[in-house]
Structure 1
C-alpha cells in the first residue's frame, strides 16, 4: 500500500500523523512525504529543511518531496497547489492520503487542506490529521501507535 502524507511546513506531518505513518512503514507499506514550504517563518528555512530531512530518516519514506512555496503564502497560490498535488498523485498513485484538517487556525494549513480536497476529488481515502492549531476535530478513525510512539 502507498501512503502519502502532506504537510504545509517541516514538522507538521510529524506532529500530526508520524506515529501512524511509522506503524504503516513498520508493516511494509510505502510512505511518501510532501512538504509544501521550508517553514522559514517558524525559524530559519534552511535549518528547518535540514531538520525535516533528518526526521524523515526515522520514517524512511520512499521519497520526501518539497513544494516550492513560501511560508504563510499558500492561500494566494491555491490553483497552482491543486495542480502540483495532482502531479504528485499521478506520480505516486497513493492508496491513502493524510493531510491537515481544514478547520485550523493557521492559514497555510487551511489552504493546503482545501487544495488537497480539490486535488483528491477522485481519491477515496483522504484522512485528516490533527495538529496543535487544529480546531473542532472529531476523529472517526483511531490507530493504536503505542508500538511506534517513540518514533513520533
Structure 2
C-alpha cells in the first residue's frame, strides 16, 4: 500500500496516456498539494518506437516533471487488454493498495482499442473494489467518483479544468516521451514515422486551446462522467 491514500489515481493503458489527456490537471493538483498517482496497465511493448526500458525511463522523467506522489505499472499485455477477471482483479488490487478518493480512466470511446479496454477494466474494478467479499485479502475501497479523460477525440464533455497556468508543465511532461513524439529522421535505426511523430504534441496543444476558448481560458482539459457529480452550492 502507499504510505498515505491518494487523492487521485489516473489509470492509463500506456505511459503517456495520462499526460496526453490530463497532464495539466495533474500538474495543477500536485502543485496544490494533492497526492496524485498514475497506474500504467502495460509496458507498451508493442509500440512502433522505443523499448520497454526506454519507456520506463521516459515515464520516470515525466513523473518528476508532474510532481507525482506515486506511479506503477501492472505489466498487463500491450494490445492484449481484455475485460477478464485477471485484468480486472489486477486493477482492483491497485485501487485497494492506493486507496484513491477519485479515479480517472480513459474515455470509453477512442480510436485505440487498448484505451477502450482500459476504460472498461477501470469501471469494473472501481465497482468491485468496494465489495468487501470480493478479494477479501485486501480491505475494500469506496471510490467517490470515476471520471473519464480524453486521449484522442473529445465528445460529450461534462467537465472542464482551466490549465492555463500549468500548460508548460504539461508540455514538458509530454516532451519526456521522446521515443514517441520526436520526429523520425530518415534512415534512423529502428525508428519509424507514426501519427505520434508527426507534430502530435502540437495537435494536443491545439485541442486544449480550442477547449479553453469557450471559457476564455488559454488552455483547458475536458472530462466526462457517467454518474452525476455531487455539488453542495454553486
Asked whether the two chains share a fold, i.e. TM above 0.5, the reply is yes
- How well do the aligned residues superpose, as a CA RMSD in angstroms? 1.5
**CA distance in 2: counterparts of 1:78 and 1:10, whole angstroms:** 22
Higher relative contact order (CA 8 A, sep 6+): 1
Aligned to 1:89: 95
Task: Rate the CA distance shift 1:80–1:95 in 2: closer, same or farther, 3 A.
Answer: same
5+ residue gaps, structure 1: none
The structure whose Rg is larger is 2
| 20-29 or 120-129, which deviates more | 120-129
Aligned to 1:65: 72
| 34-43 or 14-23, which deviates more | 34-43
Aligned to 1:109: 115
| TM alignment of 1:47-58, pairs within 5 A | 47-58=54-65
**CA distance in 2: counterparts of 1:50 and 1:38, whole angstroms:** 11
**CA distance in 1: counterparts of 2:117 and 2:42, whole angstroms:** 13
- Number of aligned residue pairs: 149
**CA distance in 1: counterparts of 2:33 and 2:96, whole angstroms:** 22
Aligned to 1:15: 20
Residues 67-108 of structure 1: per-residue CA shift (max 9 Å, x gap): 111211112x63212111111111111111111011112111
**CA distance in 1: counterparts of 2:108 and 2:34, whole angstroms:** 26
5+ residue gaps, structure 2: 1-5, 131-142, 171-234
